[in-house]
Amino acid sequence: MSEETLGPKDASRVRRLPKKAEYTTSVIYEILDAARLCHLGAVVNDVPVAMPTLHAREDSVLYVHGSQSNAAMKSVLAMEKCSLSVTVYEGIRAARSGFESSISYRSVVAFGRAEEVTDLEEKRRILDLMVDAVLPGRASEVRPMTERELNLTLVIKLPIDEASAKVSGGPPEDFPEDLDLPIWAGEIPARTAFSAPIPNTDGAMATGTIPVPASVERLLRDFQ
């Protein structure tokens, strides 16, 4: 039984280096969940914009949020189809030539029609989901959002109609005639790491008696 895919379709088909393309749902979802931020494609005053922002995924739906006055997000809501892209940077592939040198990465470009989430309780649920996407478990540790905060926040839902991933890694691919050159070549892996947390010292935190929460301890442990 073949695995479910999200492409290739007209917008998502990878034409440059198609051997690096992945269309399977599991690979695409894994990369979307691993990425720390995304770029939302929009057109503002006839100018293309790639707006960096945070995202969360729930099944086949992506969510982003911002201010109610955010011009890029308002533009996305007016479009027939928009795009959201992510990249997970994983290191350097240092070849024997600059031309063949590159990076290791996993990326996704997803397409769909954006919709505004207006129901307050649904917005609250989604915003808690987004808090936990950044720091798992944090939503249950902080105070609930107020109705005013919910009304000030624009939440966008993006069902994924189609998507493609590109995965590039492994040793650099030098030209055969360069292999005998006395030049170092290889991979330099990179990873995300978090340092020791620095507590705030205002308000109740000034006493120094509030312990590091479970969400932060778990994050540090998972990225040890």
- CATH code: domain 18-174+184-190 is 2.30.110.10
Q: What is the pLDDT of residues 169-201, one digit of tens each?
A: 999 999 999 999 999 999 999 998 999 999 998
Q: What is the pLDDT of residues 76-118, one digit of tens each?
A: 999 999 999 999 999 999 999 999 999 999 999 999 999 999 9
The C-alpha atoms of residue 85 and residue 205 are separated, in whole angstroms, by 38
The full set of domain ranges for the chain reads: 18-174+184-190, 193-224
**Residue 174, CA distances (Å) to 90, 187, 189 in order:** 20, 13, 18
Q: Any residues with CB less than 8 A from the CB of 217 and at least 6 apart, and which? A: none
44, 72 contact by CB (below 8 A): yes
Q: What is the pTM of this model?
A: 0.93
pLDDT at 224: 76
Assign 207 a pLDDT band (cuts: 50, 70, 90): confident
